[in-house]
Amino acid sequence: MEECCSTKPKKEHNHNHEDHDHDHGHSHDTEGKSAFQMFLPAIISFALLLLGIILDHVVKPGWFSGWIRPVWYSVVYLPVGLPVLKEAFESIKNGDIFSEFFLMGIATVGAFAIGEYPEGVAVMLFYSVGEVFQAMAVTRAQTNIKTLLDQRPDEVTVIREGKPQTIKAEQVNIGDIIQLKSGEKLGLDGELLSETASFNTAALTGESKPDTKTKGTAVLAGMINLNTVSQVKVTAAYKDSKLSRILEMVQNATAQKAPTELFIRKFAKVYTPIVVFLAIGITLLPYLFVEHYEFRDWLYRALVFLVISCPCALVISIPLGYFGGIGAGSRNGILFKGSNFLDVLATVRQVVMDKTGTLTEGVFKVQEVNFNNGFDKDELLKLVNALESKSSHPVATAIHEYVGEPDHSVKLENVEEVAGQGLKATVNGKELLVGNFRLMDTSGIRYDFNPENIVYTVIAVAYDQKFAGYLTIADEVKPDAKQTISQLQSLGVTATMLSGDKSSVVQHVAGILGIQNAYGDLLPEDKVNKVKEIKAKKQTVAFVGDGVNDAPVVALSDVGIAMGGLGSDATIETADVVIQDDRPGKIPMAINIGKQTKRIVWQNIFLAFVVKAIVLILGAGGLATMWEAVFADVGVALLAILNAVRIQRMKF
């Protein structure tokens, strides 16, 4: 039988909650504040600065001179400058001397020292405005991700002693029965007790199309009941619900930094002290080479250089770009375990896919039963059904649906699963074999026809060392599978299908979907060898599966994508990327989100470096003033933020 399912064995996901993020916009001071409160210091400074400039250049009163002018601008500076100077002092205390707060502190205090009061205030004012915008953008990105997934209601209605009671969701016990009215959202995972109910699963899968569930099926926290009053038996505690775990996973995703992000952080740590020493050089070295050296002029150039050099446009816009990518994925029912996987997906050139449950529905139906004369069909089906009850494979489910509930009076001994082949057991002292024809061959069972002539999946049965016959089972191709392959090809990605199912079935499905590279009759080790062959071409490989059985294959891939993440707890734990519904169309979407995120991140890097480099050269040459420096720092940072936020609005 096909080893149909797979996810990646757990990589070393670093889910610590240590805050390595650059502390922008004094975000810990801004939590819970309104936009007006956050901008109030800047508004006060701006109004007073404007008044000072009018007094300086328009009204020109006699009293606005001497000590009054510097005192005025000092008062104007304090609302925006004091928090930044405090941050600089805190950073120095913590051993981080060359922070951007330190750069801004030196630049603005230096401007005051040479009498450039309005410019010193303006630099700090615009810098603070930029920091507030940055803090708001980051908070919004994080909030978007959280509110997108944190769909759990705080209270639920439970039936106790025959009466409905409204209690806190955290207080509900496993086994309690929840009553769910039309339009209400389910608070905990459970099992549907009502005969049928329709649910909106958009919170979990990104799909708003109603999903009809039947009695006994699993329903999950976050699903909205659409029509009649339904009853659900709770199967997991509030904190253990699938939605809780997904929420935690996405929040932790920001701790998994992409290589670009890690590089920029390291770069900033080296870059900033270099900038400070270069500024000192710009101030002092010309003394040795310039005939009419003017300390004040060269100090001004050095201060302009410091303002331009501030790396905040890079340090904030890049994490924000990755936040946006993670949020865009979550909104579409795709969960990325870390921003590093967005980067990997952007470079994927090969997608290796399992067949069953990934490209096909994984819902098999028995088409025909063809047993040889001399065997009691009903008796043999009873034995086959009993043996298949020991397997969780979709084929087993198809046989159960066809035959009915397994007969537990059947005594099975020495039950053994043969990897990639099927099941064997001893019944009534005789050997029973149920699996593919490889199992028949390895067990020395003879048969007199070519199974390759049958297109459908064939389950062969042997009893008492004799070939008894076979069942044919068919699986349907998923509606969007063909379009998925076409979209992957348009992205320049090659699709390969690997399957333990027989080659005729695999080639039939590959023909329908337009997949050139498809291989059937594969044992788990054969799949490993195929992936090794692909990896040998030095291409980035993603593996897509829907369970945990193909761990060796997934271990070889650069990124493991799990299909049907809602159906498997192990999948959520171990996959790098989880597609929350069973739609293969989300595979090219995930790759596209990775590509768009990487594009935006590199646009921001290029924008910041080019603009800063131009203005730095102008500043060092004395051709740029503090006003150009403000644009090179705050202006570029704001443009980068707007560009990074753009991904959250993209349609994929």
- Contact status, residue 124 vs residue 79, Cβ threshold 8 Å: no
Q: Is the pLDDT of residue 8 over 70?
A: no
> What is the Cα–Cα distance from 215 to 197, expressed in whole angstroms?
8
Please, are residues 279 and 302 in contact by the beta-carbon 8 Å criterion?
Answer: yes
Q: Which pLDDT does position 390 carry in this prediction?
A: 84
Q: Please, are residues 57 and 118 in contact by the beta-carbon 8 Å criterion?
A: no
**599-621 core/surface letters (b: 16 or more CB in 10 A; e: else):** ebbebbbebbeebbeebbebbbe
Give the per-residue pLDDT at 71.
Answer: 94
Would you say residue 29 has pLDDT above 70?
no
Confidence of residue 3 (pLDDT cuts 50, 70, 90): very low
Segment 421-444 shows an average pLDDT of: 92
Residue pLDDT, tens place only, 233-264: 999 888 887 777 776 766 676 667 778 778 77
Are the C-beta atoms of 514 and 482 separated by less than 8 Å? yes
Which of 3.40.50.1000, 3.20.20.70, 3.30.365.10, 3.40.1410.10 would CATH assign to domain 334-360+478-595? Answer: 3.40.50.1000
Q: How many CB atoms lie within 10 A of CB 340?
A: 22
Structure token pair of residue 208: 């708003």
pLDDT value for 149: 55
Type and span of the H or E element at 349: strand 348-354
Judge whether residue 81 has pLDDT over 90.
yes
User: How much is the pLDDT for 588?
Assistant: 96
Average pLDDT, integer, range 197-218? 77
User: Mind spelling out the 3-state secondary structure of 544-609?
Assistant: EECCCCCHHHHHHCCEEEECCHHHCHHHHHHCCEEECCCCCCHHHHHHHHHHHHHHHHHHHHHHHH
25: Cα within 13 Å, side-chain hemisphere: 26
SS3 helix, strand, coil % of the chain, rounded to 5?
Answer: 50, 15, 30
Beta bridge partners, 155, equal 168
Looking at the chain, the whole-number percentage of residues with pLDDT higher than 90 is: 29
Q: What is the pTM of this model?
A: 0.72
- Give residue 624's pLDDT: 80
Question: The tokens of 319 are what?
Answer: 């994490």
| Whether 220 contacts 240, CB under 8 Å | no
Separation between Cα atoms, residue 79 and residue 43, nearest integer Å: 9
Mean pLDDT of 340-346: 92
* Overall average pLDDT of the 355-367 stretch: 83
Give the count of alpha carbons within 13 A of 58, CB side only. Answer: 6
Q: 342, 349, 351, 348: which is closest to 599 by C-alpha?
A: 342
Element (H, E) at 159: strand 155-160
Polymer length of the chain: 652
Q: Among 29-38, 158-167, 502-511, 556-565, whose mean pLDDT is lowest? A: 29-38
Name the maximum alpha-carbon separation found in the chain. Answer: 119
Question: Taking residues 224-233, what's their average pLDDT?
Answer: 88
Q: What is the pLDDT of residues 568-581, one digit of tens each?
A: 565 566 678 888 77
**pLDDT for the residue numbered 1:** 41
Residue 145 CA to residue 320 CA, distance in Å, equals 12
User: Which secondary structure element, helix H or strand E, spans residue 319, and what is its range?
Assistant: helix 312-331
DSSP 351-393: EEEESTTTTB----EEEEEEEPTTS-HHHHHHHHHHHHTT--S
The mean pLDDT value for 13-19 works out to 37
Nearest in space to 27 (alpha carbons), one of 150, 140, 145: 140
Percent of the chain with pLDDT over 70: 88
State how far the Cα of 338 lies from the Cα of 452, in Å rounded to an integer.
Answer: 44
More confident call, 208 vs 404? 404
CA separation for the pair 121, 53 (Å, rounded): 11
CA dist 304 → 43, 113, 616, 637 (Å): 24, 14, 8, 17
pLDDT band at residue 15 using 50, 70 and 90 as cut-offs: very low
Per-residue pLDDT reduced to its tens digit, 447-479: 988 888 888 888 999 999 999 999 998 888 889
Q: Count the Cβ atoms, other than its own, within 10 Å of residue 402.
A: 17
Q: What is the pLDDT of residues 98-157, one digit of tens each?
A: 787 888 888 889 889 888 899 889 888 988 887 888 777 777 766 666 665 555 677 899
CATH assignment, 155-240: 2.70.150.10
- Tell me which residues are annotated as active site: 354
Whether the CB-CB separation of 596 and 568 falls below 8 Å is answered with no
5 has a pLDDT exceeding 70: no
Residue 409 has pLDDT above 70, yes or no: yes
HSE, side-chain direction, 13 A CA sphere, residue 488: 26
Average pLDDT over the chain reads 83
Q: Could you give the 3-state DSSP secondary structure of residue 431?
A: strand
* Alpha carbon separation from 232 to 198, 218, 384 (Å, rounded): 13, 9, 33
CB atoms closer than 10 angstroms to residue 57: 9
User: How many Å apart are CA 611 and CA 631, to the nearest integer?
Assistant: 9
Contact between residue 343 and residue 599 where contact means Cβ atoms under 8 Å apart:
no
Structure confidence at residue 466 (pLDDT): 93
CA dihedral of 136, 138, 143, 148, whole degrees rounded to 10: 130
The string of pLDDT tens digits covering residues 595-620 is 999 999 999 989 988 888 888 788 76
Among 599, 617, 619, which residue's Cα sits nearest to residue 607?
Answer: 599
Q: Is the pLDDT of residue 23 over 90?
A: no
Tell me which fold the domain 362-476 belongs to: Calcium-transporting ATPase, cytoplasmic domain N (3.40.1110)
The tokens describing 478, both together, are: 């998923």
pLDDT at 76 (0 to 100): 95
Higher pLDDT, residue 398 or 591: 591
Give residue 355's pLDDT band: very low, low, confident or very high (50, 70, 90).
confident
pLDDT number for residue 313: 74
Residues 6+ apart with CB under 8 A from 540: 344, 347, 348, 349, 350, 558, 559
User: Would you list the domain boundaries of the chain?
Assistant: 155-240, 334-360+478-595, 362-476
